[in-house]
Structure 1
Amino acid sequence: MPNIMRNAAGRYATIAAAVVLGAALGGCSAQAGPSPAANGLVSHVAEYRLRLISTSANSSVIAARGAFGFRFEKVCDGWISELRNSLILQGPQGSAINSSYSMTQWEDFAAKHYRFRVRDFQDGYLTDEVNGNAERQDDKVVVHYEKPVDVTEELPVDTLFPTQHSIKLLQHAIDGDVFASDRVFDGGGDTPTYQISAVVSGAMDADNKARDENHIADKPFHRISMAFFPIDSDDDRPAYEMSIDYGKNGVAQGLVQNYGDFKLQGDLIRVRELPAPQCD
């Protein structure tokens, strides 16, 4: 199978982690108290359908389809998010790759502790697994990987975790800010740390056709467009770009992933609210 096809699938796996949908939502900023945006977050399970919306003339991908499921839940000691996706990419020579991916994250409310597990599959076979945790100390963030090798590294103290970053973006939307730029660590993919530049739109009316019995995806959203720059790269171009339509309750109503030579759109097809935790 051509390497370019494998690289495209790998880039997809990385972006899935960063989405939040790695996209998880919640937490607070590293140096401040809880964000008001966190109070309105809704625990939920959502399903999305992925479809190819454009390709360039020399694209390595001529067809693509897939789906992913996302679970975001407030528990007694923090936020848990789970992402599971599958994607089939087809090249111009008729070759295809079936890539699936899962990521589980837990982050405490103070954004001081973060745990992650990433599993990557190709054609049904486990090809990569990364487990680890990170702790925010007074002057640095210490990351300890347990798999695939036992290793520890240090990051600048202003590095954000995915949940923390997402809630910060929602707070920018609430405050009317237009631009943001942050260093974010999620632990997944070949490049676990990115500098993410974001542009935040004004509020727009919901236009998805999701099955939504709890009416949590029919509220206005802000389109947040992000460019992902690998840390320590000499290339001044982003590795990829993404836009996410975020409601203020943390529900992603849709998204577009731009890989340069092709684009995917994620349509929300079903969403359901989860009950609040029963904590002492």
Structure 2
Amino acid sequence: MTNMGHPAKSTRQILPFRGVYALLLLLVALPAMPAYAVDLAPHTAHYTMKLMSARSGSNIESASGDIVVRWERDCSGWAMTNRTIFRIAYAGGQSIGFTIDAATWEAASGDDYTFLVRTAYDGKEVERVEGRARADGKKRYVDFVQPSKKRLDLEPETIFPMQHTAMVMNAARAGSTFVRAAVFDGFTDGGSQFVTAIVGKKISPEAGDMSRFPELRDLAAWTVSLAFFPQDANATEPDSEIGMQMMDNGVAAWMDMDFGDFRLRGELDRLDIHKAEVCR
């Protein structure tokens, strides 16, 4: 599991709907479908994060923060930005602040993906990951610009974040409960991860209690649990896990993030649905 001594692992799962994200190695009988085949809503969402629990011996006394995620769509693809700010306080008075800024673009065709992810501790940038990933027939690869120039071959079945979101949504609507995928999101300078998604039963609008948000109150939802596994084919334990309530338009109503040493809860408190371009 992750710990605060390993920033690459600790920060890569902070972001929701990355996190919510790519999927192709389906163990359910669903055909591959483009992201436009489901009604994913372009939107800006703000989440407030609070500490749910901390492992005994972690010395974590408190943790809190904010996440702002924005999905924008035109007929060429999806642009996504994500800003996460949170602070962890430890016993003895020490604390550290994290800021993660991510900007990505994914082609509607699913064959092109660009990314820039910056991580800062207490205002000082400590990591920058930038590059471009391609899907060319059966071949998948990524060219990194930062932190160093290199090319990596990806798993042949790898897809990108919005494809993952669309496929999880399709699985939920079809009543499927298990999905597995090779995922590349560019949040570290490594390759793909394997992600499993466990989809719960459909939640009716009446049971979902989203009355605070007019855009969501009439929508069904599903509880989704995502587990992120390392590239090691023999790995049996995930690096980290995220649980969420996924609305029928792709918006997350809440999320629980498990980093091993601690768990954070993110609650949706502001939402703006954007007008989508009509694509033919």
Fold agreement, TM-score > 0.5: yes
Q: Deviations over 1:31-69 (max 9, x none)?
A: 956358733111110000000011222224221000010
Gap change, CA 1:39 and 1:229, over 3 Å in 2: closer
CA RMSD in angstroms comes to: 2.8
User: Residues 177-230 of structure 1, C-alpha deviation per residue, up to 9 Å, x if partnerless?
Assistant: 0111111111113655211111100112323575x3x52365221111011111
Q: Which has the higher contact order (CA 8 A, sep 6+)?
A: 2
Q: TM-score, normalised by structure 2?
A: 0.87
Aligned to 1:134: 133
Paired position in structure 2 for 1:239: 239
Counterpart of 1:11 in structure 2 is 9
Give the Å deviation of 1:260: 2.0
2:114 alignment partner in structure 1: 115
Where do 4+ consecutive residues of structure 1 move more than 6 Å?
27-31
Q: Distance in 2 between matches of 1:117 and 1:209?
A: 36
Q: Cα gap change, 1:86/1:60 in structure 2, threshold over 3 Å: closer, same or farther?
A: same
The residue number in structure 2 matching 1:215 is: 215
- Distance in 2 (alpha carbons) for counterparts of 1:233 and 1:35: 27
Percent of pairs with identical residues = 27
Question: 2:142 aligns to what?
Answer: 143
- The count of corresponding residues between Structure 1 and Structure 2 is 273
CA distance in 1, matches of 2:152, 2:244: 30
Secondary structure of the residue that 1:69 maps to in structure 2? strand
Distance 1:22 1:219, change over 3 A: same
Q: Deviations over 1:102-132 (max 9, x none)?
A: 1111111111111111011110111111110
CA distance in 1, matches of 2:45, 2:222: 18
The residue that corresponds to 1:206 in the other structure is 208
The 1:33–1:259 alpha-carbon spacing in structure 2 relative to 1, beyond 3 Å, is closer
Counterparts of residues 1-280 of structure 1 (less than 5 Å): 5-7=4-6, 10-17=8-15, 19-23=16-20, 34-35=33-34, 38-189=37-188, 191-204=190-203, 205-208=207-210, 210=212, 212=213, 214-216=214-216, 219-232=219-232, 235-277=235-277
User: Quick check: 2:24–2:159 contact (8 Å CA) kept in 1?
Assistant: no
After the TM superposition, which of the residue ranges 115-124 and 257-266 deviates more from structure 2?
257-266
In the superposition, the TM-score normalised over structure 1's length comes to 0.87
SS of residue in 2 equivalent to 1:156? coil
Q: Are the counterparts in 1 of residues 132 and 144 from structure 2 also a CA contact under 8 Å? A: yes
1: CA distance, partners of 2:267 / 2:59: 23
**What is the CA–CA distance in structure 1 between the aligned matches of 2:235 and 2:39, rounded to whole Å?**
38
Change (3 A) 1:29 1:191: closer
SS of 2:93's equivalent in the other structure is: coil
| Cα distance in 1, alignment partners of residues 24 and 55 from structure 2 | 40
Range with greater deviation from structure 2 (52-61 or 262-271): 52-61
Q: Is the Cα–Cα contact under 8 Å of residues 216 and 273 in structure 1 kept in the other structure? A: no
Distance 2:261 2:198 in 1: 22
The verdict on how the C-alpha distance between 1:29 and 1:113 changes in structure 2, with shifts beyond 3 A counting, is farther
Q: Is the 8 A contact 1:22 1:83 kept in 2?
A: no
C-alpha separation between the residues in 1 aligned to 2:119 and 2:227? 23
